[in-house]
Structure 1
Amino acid sequence: MFDPEELDEIRSAREEWEAEQVQPTVDRFGERRETFETDTRGREVDRLYTPKDVANVDYEDDLGFPGEEPYTRGVYPTGYRGRLWTMRQYAGMGTAGETNERFNYLLDEGQTGLSMAFDLPTQMGHDSDDALAVGEVGKTGVAIDSLRDMETVFEGIPLDDVSTSMTINAPASVLLAMYVAIGDQQGVPREELRGTIQNDVLKEYIARNTYIYPPEPSMRIITDIFEFCAAEVPNFNTISISGYHIREAGSTAAQEIAFTLADGIEYVEAAIDAGLDVDEFAPQLSFFFASYNNILEEVAKFRAARRLWADLMDERFDAEDPKSKQLKFHTQTAGSTLTAQQVENNVVRVAYQALAAVLGGTQSLHTNGKDEAVGLPTEQSVRTALRTQQILAHESGVADTVDPLGGSYYVESLTDDVEAEAREIMAEVDERGGMTQAIQDQWVQRQIQDVAFERQREQEEGERIIVGVNEYTVDEEEAVDIDEVDQSQEERQRERLASIREERDDEAVEAKLDALREAAESDENLMPYLVDAVKVYATTGECCDVLRDVFGEYQPGSAL
Structure 2
Amino acid sequence: MCENMSDPGSPPFVRGIYKDMYKKKPWTMRQYSGFSTAEQTNKRFKNLLKNGQTGLSVAFDLPTQMGLDSDNALSIGEVGRAGVAIDTIEDMRILLDGIPLDKVSISMTINSPASIIWAMLLVVAEEQNVSWKNIRGTIQNDILKEYVARGTYIFPPEPSMKLTKDTFEMVENVPNFNPISISGYHIREAGASAALELGITFSHAIAYLDVAKNTNLDFEKVVKRFSFFFGCHNDIFEEVAKFRAARWIWNDILEDYGVNDLNARKLRFHTQTCGSTLTRNQPLLNVARVALQALAATLGGTQSLHTNAYDEAIGLPTEESALIALRTQQILYHESGLSREVDPFGGSQFIENETCRIRKETNQIIDLIKKSGGAIKSVENGLTSSLIHEESHKYQKEIENKERLIIGVNSFEENSSEIPDPQLIPEKTRENQIKKLNHIKNSRDDNLAKEALQALSKSQKRNDNLMPCILSAVKKKCTIGEICAELGRFWGTHSQISS
Report the TM-score range of the alignment, normalised by the length of the smaller protein: over 0.9
Classify the secondary structure of the residue corresponding to 2:12.
coil
Classify the secondary structure of the residue corresponding to 1:231.
coil
Contact 2:169 2:216 in 1 (8 A): no
Per-residue CA distance 1:494-549 (angstroms, 9 max, x = gap): 01100010111111111111111111111211111111111121111111111111
Task: Name the counterpart of 2:376.
Answer: 436
Contact 1:200 1:241 in 2 (8 A): yes
**2:337 corresponds to 1:386:** no
In the aligned structure 2, how far is the partner of 1:458 from the partner of 1:135? 34
Task: Name the counterpart of 2:49.
Answer: 107
Per-residue CA distance 1:184-216 (angstroms, 9 max, x = gap): 000001000110000000000000110011111
Out of 126, 130, 133, the residue aligned to residue 184 of structure 1 is 126
**2:188 corresponds to 1:250:** no
**What is the letter of the counterpart of residue 116 of structure 2?**
V
Q: Equivalences for 1:24-35 in 2 at 5 Å?
A: none
Contact 1:199 1:239 in 2 (8 A): yes
**2:356 corresponds to 1:410:** no
Contact 1:177 1:534 in 2 (8 A): yes
In the aligned structure 1, how far is the partner of 2:211 from the partner of 2:138? 20
In the aligned structure 2, how far is the partner of 1:308 from the partner of 1:276? 25
Q: Equivalences for 1:331-346 in 2 at 5 Å?
A: 331-346=271-286
Task: Name the counterpart of 2:81.
Answer: 139
Task: Name the counterpart of 1:465.
Answer: 405
**What is the letter of the counterpart of residue 169 of structure 1?**
N
In the aligned structure 1, how far is the partner of 2:229 from the partner of 2:498? 27
Task: Name the counterpart of 2:161.
Answer: 219
Out of 264, 267, 282, the residue aligned to residue 223 of structure 2 is 282
Task: Name the counterpart of 1:294.
Answer: 235
Per-residue CA distance 1:99-129 (angstroms, 9 max, x = gap): 0000001001100000000000000000001
**What is the letter of the counterpart of residue 189 of structure 1?**
S
Per-residue CA distance 1:367-389 (angstroms, 9 max, x = gap): 00000001000011000000000
Classify the secondary structure of the residue corresponding to 1:298.
helix
Classify the secondary structure of the residue corresponding to 1:63.
coil
Contact 1:358 1:399 in 2 (8 A): no
Contact 1:90 1:366 in 2 (8 A): yes
**2:112 corresponds to 1:170:** yes
**2:186 corresponds to 1:266:** no
Contact 1:248 1:334 in 2 (8 A): yes
Out of 65, 83, 97, the residue aligned to residue 39 of structure 2 is 97
Contact 2:283 2:419 in 1 (8 A): no
In the aligned structure 2, how far is the partner of 1:535 from the partner of 1:201? 25
Q: Equivalences for 1:38-53 in 2 at 5 Å?
A: none
Q: Equivalences for 1:62-141 in 2 at 5 Å?
A: 62-141=4-83
Task: Name the counterpart of 2:479.
Answer: 539
Task: Name the counterpart of 2:246.
Answer: 305
In structure 1, list runs of 5 or more residues that go unmatched. 1-53
**What is the letter of the counterpart of residue 436 of structure 1?**
I
Out of 370, 376, 400, the residue aligned to residue 340 of structure 2 is 400
In the aligned structure 1, how far is the partner of 2:125 from the partner of 2:24? 28
Task: Name the counterpart of 1:493.
Answer: 433
Contact 2:282 2:419 in 1 (8 A): no
**2:279 corresponds to 1:366:** no
TM-score of the superposed pair, with normalisation by structure 2: 0.99
In the aligned structure 1, how far is the partner of 2:314 from the partner of 2:236? 25
Task: Name the counterpart of 1:355.
Answer: 295
In the aligned structure 2, how far is the partner of 1:198 from the partner of 1:297? 25
In the aligned structure 2, how far is the partner of 1:544 from the partner of 1:77? 44
Task: Name the counterpart of 1:503.
Answer: 443
- State the Cα distance separating 1:158 from its structure 2 match: 1.4
Number of residue pairs the alignment of both structures matches: 499
Classify the secondary structure of the residue corresponding to 1:399.
helix
- Which stretch shifts more, 95-104 or 320-329? 320-329
**What is the letter of the counterpart of residue 132 of structure 2?**
R
In the aligned structure 2, how far is the partner of 1:118 from the partner of 1:493? 14
Classify the secondary structure of the residue corresponding to 1:322.
coil
- State the Cα distance separating 1:275 from its structure 2 match: 4.4
- State the Cα distance separating 1:78 from its structure 2 match: 1.0
Contact 1:93 1:102 in 2 (8 A): no
Classify the secondary structure of the residue corresponding to 1:484.
coil
Task: Name the counterpart of 1:456.
Answer: 396
TM-score of the superposed pair, with normalisation by structure 1: 0.88
In the aligned structure 1, how far is the partner of 2:192 from the partner of 2:143? 18
In the aligned structure 2, how far is the partner of 1:283 from the partner of 1:125? 29
Task: Name the counterpart of 1:202.
Answer: 144
In the aligned structure 2, how far is the partner of 1:432 from the partner of 1:527? 32
Contact 2:169 2:215 in 1 (8 A): no
> Structure 1 vs Structure 2: percent identity of aligned residues?
49
Task: Name the counterpart of 1:16.
Answer: none
Task: Name the counterpart of 1:30.
Answer: none
Task: Name the counterpart of 1:522.
Answer: 462
In structure 2, list runs of 5 or more residues that go unmatched. none
**What is the letter of the counterpart of residue 440 of structure 1?**
E
- State the Cα distance separating 1:475 from its structure 2 match: 1.4
- State the Cα distance separating 1:323 from its structure 2 match: 2.4
- State the Cα distance separating 1:290 from its structure 2 match: 0.2
**What is the letter of the counterpart of residue 135 of structure 1?**
G
In the aligned structure 2, how far is the partner of 1:479 from the partner of 1:241? 35
**What is the letter of the counterpart of residue 117 of structure 2?**
L
Task: Name the counterpart of 1:159.
Answer: 101
In the aligned structure 1, how far is the partner of 2:23 from the partner of 2:469? 43
